[in-house]
Amino acid sequence: MHDRKDLHVTTATALTRRRFVSTSMAAAGLPLFVPARVLASTLEDVRALEAIQAEADLLGAGKPVSGLWTFGGSVPAPVLRVRQGETLAVRLVNRLAQSTTIHWHGIRIENAMDGVPHMTQAPVGPGESFDYRFRVPDAGTFWYHPHERSYEQVARGMAGVLIVEEPDPPAVDQDLVVAISDWRLSAEGLLKEDFGSPHDRSHAGRLGNRITVNGAINPEFPVMTNERIRLRLANIASARVLKLRVEGVAARLIAVDGQPVSPTIAYEEDGITLGPGNRADVIIDMLGEPGRRLALVDVADKRRELATFVYHASRRARAEPLAAPIALPANPVPEPDHSNALDAELVMTGGAASESDHTMFPNPDAIWSMNGRSGMHGDPLFGVALGRTVQLRIVNDTAWPHAMHLHGHHFRVLSRSGSRKLRPFWWDTVLMDPREEMTIAFVADNPGKWMLHCHMLDHQAAGMDTWFDVTA
């Protein structure tokens, strides 16, 4: 647990504050990035995003952590906002000494914009730039991160939230991004640079020892009694599985991985589980009395407090909570057609057999396998004709959980063998328990070469990545 002296709201660079923090948020001392609305579709509106080193005072101790790599100089990267159906145009300018890309996680994107080095584009080398330009078909909460050495680049801070706004969103008093990162810092508070260690690769991935929300340890969010708030919870950590709950209030889940949940689901005692890469949008009516404090906790980590909602000492937003409906309209994701589906199978093996197993793996890039192969190969896992439904059976024949992420598509889970509830969601990333089997289904409606990998980024780097080919 953190010392009380660390519970201090801080934010990334001054540059970022000036550029992205609205005056009211800045006045409240919040580490929230509220950017100007990003981008219509003309070339003049191309927004530059620099991949650049920075320092940030993650611990609020006045001792900035160095060795961070960022987009736009801030940790996390700036929140990008665009309206559904519009075009986002971002020029990535690489000021790092390592090549990079941007992957727009969860966006059902045109293949050439997917940001996968050597597959959808050449890596963007030091000093080079690349223009991303794509239409966003779905409203919701998404995120972006590099796909080059992501086990290092994401762990150094290169990740941010992308919000695609509904044309007619449910009315809320506050729309808050809660982007959760996990840092591995030394006792002196410096970023540990042991990226891709054999232990992390063969076990649970790179777990850190400091959790931040929007780049700060346990930040405070001011609220008022009877306010309705929308939280966009995003797990942008390298490997950590979170189970999130705001203590003492009921949260209604309205979207998962950017896709609306219908009907909405009430979460009270249970936390919402987010594997690395997952997002959840929830609506909370702040029914507590003025002056109270409520914690956002990670139930999976001894109820560690990640952020605190602080009610105004005396004011109420209104006499009664809002009654307006909160459901989101569906996005245009096609439903699988099971009458003519392609059946495929993916069996995952490898890794350490238990936490105490110190088996050495001769090849650090081949600790895990998918159907007996490690990593990307000439051959896809499967090829499928454009428009056909795929039913993919995934068998986790390992002792570890994995967060399986599909590029370019959202999928449904048709069945699962473990103890987790079968949910009728659209996912882009689904957490699988050890030894669990599941069948997922999606319409391969997006032509191109798409990755399928574990989002525990050290696992991905150690062989848990493959691809499939959707051919027109």
Contacting ligand C2O within 249-308 (CB under 6 A): 277
Helices (H), ranges, 371-465: 457-461
- Residues 389, 342 contacting (CB under 8 angstroms): yes
Size of interface with ligand C2O, in residues (CB under 6 A): 10
Choose the contact partner of 451 out of ligand C2O, Cu ion, none; CB within 5 to 8 A by kind: ligand C2O
Cα separation, 294 vs 287, whole angstroms: 11
Q: With binding defined as CB under 6 A, does residue 108 bind ligand C2O?
A: no
Q: How far is CA 168 from CA 121, 135, 137, 326, 327, in A?
A: 35, 18, 15, 11, 11
Q: Residue 18, SS3? A: helix
Q: Which is nearer to ligand C2O, 105 or 412 (CB)?
A: 105
Question: Position of tokens 């519009």?
Answer: 86
Sign of CA dihedral 112, 87, 215, 166: negative
- Residues 341, 391 contacting (CB under 8 angstroms): yes
Cα separation, 189 vs 278, whole angstroms: 27
- Residues 345, 371 contacting (CB under 8 angstroms): yes
Taking alpha carbons only, the member of 335, 58, 324 closest to residue 189 is 58
Choose the contact partner of 277 out of Cu ion, ligand C2O, none; CB within 5 to 8 A by kind: ligand C2O
Q: What's the min distance (Å) between Cβ of 402 and ligand C2O? A: 13
Q: Which is nearer to ligand C2O, 402 or 455 (CB)?
A: 455
Options 201, 232, 279, 405; binder of ligand C2O; rule CB under 6 A:
405
Size of interface with Cu ion, in residues (CB under 5 A): 4
Q: With binding defined as CB under 5 A, does residue 390 bind Cu ion?
A: no
Choose the contact partner of 454 out of ligand C2O, Cu ion, none; CB within 5 to 8 A by kind: Cu ion
Q: What's the min distance (Å) between Cβ of 396 and ligand C2O? A: 18
Cross-sheet strand order for the sheet of 129-135: 65-71, 47-56, 87-94, 129-135
100: which strand partners?
124
Q: Which is nearer to ligand C2O, 83 or 105 (CB)?
A: 105
List, in order, residues 6 or more apart from 176 with CB less than 8 Å away.
32, 221, 229, 230, 231, 232
Stretch that binds ligand C2O, among 83-91, 241-249, 347-355, 450-458 (CB under 6 A): 450-458
Task: Output Rg (C-alpha) for the chain, integer angstroms.
Answer: 21
Options 8, 81, 83, 105; binder of ligand C2O; rule CB under 6 A:
105
Q: With binding defined as CB under 6 A, does residue 147 bind ligand C2O?
A: yes
Q: With binding defined as CB under 5 A, does residue 402 bind Cu ion?
A: yes
Choose the contact partner of 201 out of ligand C2O, Cu ion, none; CB within 5 to 8 A by kind: none
Q: Residue 171, SS3? A: coil
Q: What's the min distance (Å) between Cβ of 154 and ligand C2O? A: 8
Q: What's the min distance (Å) between Cβ of 50 and ligand C2O? A: 20
Contact string 44-83 vs ligand C2O (x = CB under 6 A): ----------------------------------------
Q: With binding defined as CB under 5 A, does residue 454 bind Cu ion?
A: yes
**Strand ranges (DSSP E) for 208-341?**
210-213, 220-225, 228-235, 242-246, 251-256, 259-267, 272-274, 279-285, 293-298, 304-316
Choose the contact partner of 147 out of ligand C2O, Cu ion, none; CB within 5 to 8 A by kind: ligand C2O
Cα separation, 274 vs 225, whole angstroms: 28
Nearest residue (beta carbon) to ligand C2O:
105
Q: With binding defined as CB under 5 A, does residue 456 bind Cu ion?
A: yes
Q: With binding defined as CB under 6 A, does residue 205 bind ligand C2O?
A: no
Cα separation, 130 vs 121, whole angstroms: 9
Q: Which is nearer to Cu ion, 253 or 456 (CB)?
A: 456
Binding site for ligand C2O (CB under 6 A): 103, 105, 145, 147, 277, 405, 407, 451, 453, 455
